Amino acid sequence: MIKNSEFIDKLRSSGLRPTKQRLKICELLFNRDNTFHFTINDLAKNISRQLNEKISLATVYNTVHAFKNKGYLKEISINSDKSYFDTNTTNHHHFFDQDTNELIDCTDDEIETPKIKKNILGKKINSVEVLIKVATDNQNQK
Amino acid sequence: MIKNSEFIDKLRSSGLRPTKQRLKICELLFNRDNTFHFTINDLAKNISRQLNEKISLATVYNTVHAFKNKGYLKEISINSDKSYFDTNTTNHHHFFDQDTNELIDCTDDEIETPKIKKNILGKKINSVEVLIKVATDNQNQK
DNA sequence: TTATACATTATAACAATTCTAAACTATTGA
DNA sequence: TCAATAGTTTAGAATTGTTATAATGTATAA
């Protein structure tokens, strides 16, 4: 259980003012045991369920992007219709369950990280990410 | 150089009527030496550049999705703002050049395909795809 | 405690995509 | 060969996810 004052410090130290909206979002995102995968929509719904006063959708977008830019969140691309975010910002891979549209972290015992043997000339590798799409056996592939 | 009659057969054999719009799109997509990576917008622009009579944007969408569903195209997700399609439908990986927004096929001598050691219970793996984001050295990571 | 820079908000704007319903065309089979 | 019909194209409207705008509100530094 992370204390509110810790979030305040965290925000301040990265040059973000600790507003009550940002603190609420911190609480929702980072006060949990497991990695959280979400879309902005998920998060917005979550907030309005838990809060009597609402946070504007624009603020949710702003905050999530601010957190991403500060390195507190990672953006994951699965399909083009929406963005997923991940509270696990370490370099890791994902399963994507096509039945439920759920994103699941892939642990080191589940995958052997791919080795890049040759890179594009003059370019730096910024990330290497594996996405494993799974579905129940009788499901047709998307 | 693939002949028009071959495209007609290909379309017919997969239950798609060979209309002139579809044939034109076949020609553009499949009558080339190399893999083609494109967005719907790229394709639409390409068509209107090469054609005096236009193909409706809705038709371009319909056709690309029909081709994808028949397995002639593959959809690739890099970021959430648009969909990329690939004429190479084999299982392979990609570099994404963040400077130019260009997608580049990754050949076998460039990557060692990751091994999945453990799968999600009761699910079938439909695809395993690696995306390597690259940019010039002094560029900031997106 | 006030000035100011930063945040929030509702709403408008936007871009990619899908839907709709009418007009059109390829195919089937009398 | 020529309808009938089932599938296709089309323009434009609608939808969805997201970003921009500009006015109002708030945290912070001096």
What is the ipTM, given to two decimal places? 0.86
Q: Can you give the pLDDT at residue B142?
A: 37
Q: Can you give the pLDDT at residue A139?
A: 41
Using a pLDDT cut of 70, give the percent of chain A over it.
Answer: 96
Q: Can you give the pLDDT at residue B6?
A: 96
Q: Identify the band that residue A142 occupies on the pLDDT scale cut at 50, 70 and 90.
A: very low
Averaged pLDDT, A113-142: 84
A130 and A94 in contact (C-beta within 8 Å)? yes
State whether the beta carbon of B52 lies below 7 angstroms from any atom of strand D.
Answer: no
With a cut of 50, list the residues of chain B below it in pLDDT: 139-142
pLDDT tens digits along A7-21: 999 999 999 999 999
Asked if B130's CB is within 8 angstroms of A128's CB, the reply is yes
Q: Can you give the pLDDT at residue A30?
A: 97
A140 to A46, A102, B17, B73: CA distances (angstroms): 31, 17, 24, 16
CATH code for the part of the protein at B4-83:
1.10.10.10
Domain with CATH 1.10.10.10 in chain B: 4-83
Angle (deg, nearest 10), helices A57-69 and A20-30: 70
CA distance B33 to chain A (A): 21
State whether the beta carbon of A18 lies below 7 angstroms from any atom of strand D.
Answer: yes
Average pLDDT along chain A: 92
